[in-house]
Structure 1
Amino acid sequence: MRVGAAIDVTAPPDAIWAFVDDPSRYLHFMAGITRWEVVSDDASGLGARYRMLMHVGSAEIGGLVEVVEHTPGRDLAWTSVVGIDQRGRWRLRETRRDGVTRVELRLSYGVAGSGPFGWIAERVAAPTVRGHLRRSLQQLKRQVEHEQLRSAAAARRAARVA
C-alpha cells in the first residue's frame, strides 16, 4: 500500500531539512509515531538506523529502518530491515514562489502474507496512516514557520539595538 501527503512550507529547504534530518525532533512533529530512536553509531545520514513504531488502530507497527538515500536539503529515504515491510521518503523541492518549499512525505508498506487478510489489513490501515502523514506535515510546517518567525524577530531586535 502506498500513501503520501504534501504541503507547502514558507521556509527555505535547509530550514526544513534541519527538522527532517534530526531524529531527536521526530517525536515532536510526527503524528502517530510512538518511537523513533537511534540504534546506530551515526544519528543521521546514509546508513543510520532507527527503531520506529507507529500507532495504527490498537496496534503499534513498525520495526528497524535504515536510511538508504540521503541528499542534504532534498531527499531522505529509508527502508525496513526488520519488522513490517516499509519504505519511506522525505522530498523537499523549492517552488516558483519565493521562499516556499514543497515538502512530500511518502510511505509504502506491506503486511506479511500476501493473502486476502494481508490485503484487507493494508486497506483498513491506509486512512489512519494517511492521516498521520498529513498531520505530521501540518505540524512540521507549523514548527518550521514558527522558527522562521522567531529568527526574523531576533534579527530585527538585534538590528534595533545596534
Structure 2
Amino acid sequence: MTPDGKLLTNHQNRDFLTKYNLEPDNGAARRLTTGPAIQNASKAYNATIAFSPRHIIHPHDLRFFDPRGHPLAAARRAKYLRKTLEEPLWIMLTGAGASSVVRTLTQRRLKCAIYRSLEDLGFPNGVGDGKEIRGTLWITIHDSVKASKLSPWPFGEAVARALTSRCAQPLR
C-alpha cells in the first residue's frame, strides 16, 4: 500500500479487484451516523461504525495481492470471488485494549447480534423484501472490556436498523 491508499499489485490482481468491485483500502468506508440510536450505541459501546457499498478486503489478506505474487494468491482470489457472489453483506469487527479472548468473544457476540437483528427485520444475511444490503460493515471496538459488559442486543438492533434504513438497495 502506498501512503495515499493505493494498493501496489500486479495486473492480474488489479483486474480481479476491479471486476468484482473489491476495495483494498479499509479507510474507504464512511462513518455510519444515522440518527440518535446508532450514535448512542456507538458511544455506549465505544465503537466506530463505518459502511462501504463496496466489499473491503481484510488488511491481513493484502499480502496475497503483492505485486511479486504469492503462492496462495489464486486460492485467496477464489475465496473472495465465492464470498462476493454468495454474501452481499460482509461484517468485520476489530478491537483493541484487552486480551485476545475478551476481544474475540465480544466481537463474536456483537456480530451475532447484528445478524440476528437483521433476520428479525427481514434481512437474513443482508437480503430481504426485494432489497439487499451490499457492501462491508466495518466496526472498531475501542474498549472491548467495556463492550463485553453490555448486552449485545441493543447494539445489534441499532446497527441493523441503520443498515436497513440507510444502506438497503433494490436487489440486483
Question: Shared topology, TM-score over 0.5?
Answer: no
In the superposition, the TM-score normalised over structure 2's length comes to: 0.29
In the superposition, the TM-score normalised over structure 1's length comes to: 0.30
Q: Relative to total residues, which structure has the larger helix share, 1 or 2?
A: 2
